[in-house]
Structure 1
């Protein structure tokens, strides 16, 4: 069925639309989002990002500033003539708010099989109840 829909003129690329969001929302043409997984556990905030086909040494930039983790990557198109491509080329970016207390300056990153894994230490917050006395004035 999908091959028949692909042949219909004017049929929108539904997967691309879902990925991009509502039309007109993106303000930077050519900028693509990065698909991620994230979790917090065992004192570590872990972000896994899908970045296939990039060279992490040359094409990936990770920064932490004011509690924000920014991922930027670029995938350049190879100069071969294609009959069809659904690959995305250009700049990919994602900004994530780090959990409270995260030590961004101690973050580490690894790239394996097209997935970038970033780990940021997050000290356990002291959970305890403290009574606050009320003064009579």
Structure 2
């Protein structure tokens, strides 16, 4: 079982899949922005986020940033105009932000791209106790 906070383990269908159920002919691509599919876990003292982003040039098309305890991944896939057939590929801007878990540090973060999957590894420090017990003093 993952040591991520319970609220992060809720599984929801992908927004693109839900949208296609409602209106298959009007995809979210019409809105110019898409969500990235992510998975996250804590492994060997690191919070690891993986994103499926196949078919892009990671040196030019991916930006990973940290601000105010949030990890943001942005990518852009441009469409080649040379084919005239049907395409179900998603083109345009993609982005996703996740809140870092307690204990994550913003120093020493590494990002790698292999076989269409971006992996971001965030070192975990000591998790501070979230609940502090207060002793009750009795006075007479």
TM-score (norm 2): 0.73
Gapped regions of structure 2 (runs ≥ 5): 1-14
| Counterpart contact for 1:36–1:49, Cα < 8 Å | yes
Which of structure 1's runs of 4+ aligned residues deviate more than 3 A?
19-23, 129-133
Aligned to 2:86: 84
Residue 41 (structure 2) pairs with residue 48 (structure 1): no
Aligned length in residues: 120
Q: Relative to structure 1, is the Cα distance of residues 91 and 131 closer, same or farther in structure 2, using a 3 angstrom cutoff?
A: closer
Separation in 2 of the partners of 1:16 and 1:103? 32
The alpha-carbon distance between structure 1 residues 86 and 107, as it changes in their structure 2 partners (threshold 3 A), is same
Q: Which has the larger radius of gyration?
A: 1
Structure 1 unaligned segments of length 5 or more: list them: 1-14
SS in 1 for 2:96: strand
Instruction: Give me the TM-score of the superposition, normalised by structure 1.
Output: 0.74
Distance 1:61 1:130, change over 3 A: closer
